[in-house]
Amino acid sequence: MLYSGKSILDIANANNFAIPAFNISDWAMFTGVMDISEEKAAPVIIAIHPDEVSHITTDLIPAMHARAHRSSVPVAIHWDHGGSFEEMIRAIEAGFTSVMIDASLKPFDENVAITRKVVEAAHAVGVPVEGELGTIGANDSYGEAGAKEIIYTDPQDAVRFVEETGVDSLAIAIGTSHGLYPADKNPELRHDLLEQIKAAVHIPLVLHGGSANPDSELSRAVGLGINKINISSDIKVAYHDRMREIMGSDSRLREPNAIQPEPIKALKVTAAQKIDLFGAAGKAGLY
């Protein structure tokens, strides 16, 4: 079943769990994420970042629709970190059922103006929008460019932002960073802030940079109202670490169908752990 970002997240919000948004960059990763979500009877969001879009192209989106339509679990296809109005129109045209406009590095009023413009266009064709307020940190060059420091989301600003833009879900900064944390950095989430924001805005809240955060912190965040957690680095590390082992084990290997199954198994183990942690296992039955 193919769902919009709103129809998939509203049920998570009403039932107090989080849906993993797994970033995928190739077809094998996509089918691995779909297979494990079906095995766990878990709703899933397929997230594709602009760098990933340029790698796989939007030609793959109709094939994802086909897979979603015959799936036993709810699936939304989400454009992650849209950078401009034009990019969001491209996403809608390509068949994404959910988009994120990220103008969070711009001043508040500019962020509101761009996000509202995207919301007006996307809602006209039934596509829901995720906005972002505050600055999620970046641990490496794959994160939000220029965002070294975390700027925590202010609850009162969040209320204004949601009212003025009409977003369907909101990514907030409560202490996570994109990418993997260096050994000397210990991420600590501001659960108090999350509680205040959720009490004030009520809509589904989104946590970016969810890889490598301690499990206990993430499950507490889910309990306090996070309904979507983006997972990119963790599944990619599992996939490619295993791929390096496989490739290193036999220099004659060349066929993708001989190389990819083991890395996909490793990706599925990591994804399954996130699905369980976020309380999403078995929740397909609610849809």
> Segment 77-96, which members bind Zn ion (CB under 5 A)?
none
The minimum distance between CB 282 and Zn ion, in angstroms, equals: 27
The minimum distance between CB 125 and Zn ion, in angstroms, equals: 24
Nearest 5 degrees, angle CA 187-CA 136-CA 170? 115
In this chain, which stretch among 188-196, 201-209, 251-259, 276-284 interacts with Zn ion, using CB under 5 A? 201-209
In this chain, which stretch among 66-74, 158-166, 203-211, 276-284 interacts with Zn ion, using CB under 5 A? 203-211
Which residue of 6, 208, 236, 274 would you call a contact of Zn ion, by CB under 5 A?
A: 208
Q: Phi/psi zone of residue 217: left (φ > 0), alpha (ψ -120 to 50 degrees), beta?
A: alpha
The minimum distance between CB 131 and Zn ion, in angstroms, equals: 12
Between 198 and 208, name the residue whose CB sits nearer to Zn ion.
Answer: 208
Strand-pair partners of 19: 228
Between 208 and 236, name the residue whose CB sits nearer to Zn ion.
Answer: 208
How many residues bind to Zn ion according to rule CB under 5 A? 1
Cα–Cα dist 41/17, whole Å? 14
Cα torsion for 269, 211, 80, 225, to the nearest 10°? 100
Output 193-196 pairs: Cβ under 8 A, ≥24 positions apart. 193/152, 193/153, 193/155, 194/221, 194/224, 194/225, 194/226, 195/224, 195/225, 196/155
Question: Which residue's Cβ lies closest to Zn ion?
Answer: 208
CB atoms within 10 A of CB 31: 15
In this chain, which stretch among 52-60, 82-90, 205-213, 221-229 interacts with Zn ion, using CB under 5 A? 205-213
The minimum distance between CB 184 and Zn ion, in angstroms, equals: 23
Asked if 228 interacts with Zn ion (CB under 5 A), we say: no
Q: Is 26 a catalytic residue?
A: no
The minimum distance between CB 189 and Zn ion, in angstroms, equals: 15
Catalytic residue among 10, 26, 59, 80: 80
User: 204 and 9 in contact (C-beta within 8 Å)?
Assistant: yes
Between 209 and 263, name the residue whose CB sits nearer to Zn ion.
Answer: 209
The minimum distance between CB 145 and Zn ion, in angstroms, equals: 12
Nearest 5 degrees, angle CA 113-CA 119-CA 120? 90
In this chain, which stretch among 85-93, 109-117, 179-187, 208-216 interacts with Zn ion, using CB under 5 A? 208-216
User: 202 and 177 in contact (C-beta within 8 Å)?
Assistant: no
Nearest to 126 by CA among 99, 162, 90: 99
Q: At what angle do helices 108-124 and 85-94 cross, to 10 degrees?
A: 20
Residue 34 identity (one-letter amino acid): M
Between 205 and 284, name the residue whose CB sits nearer to Zn ion.
Answer: 205
Q: What amino acid positions are annotated as catalytic residues? A: 80
* Contact residues: Zn ion, CB under 5 A: 208
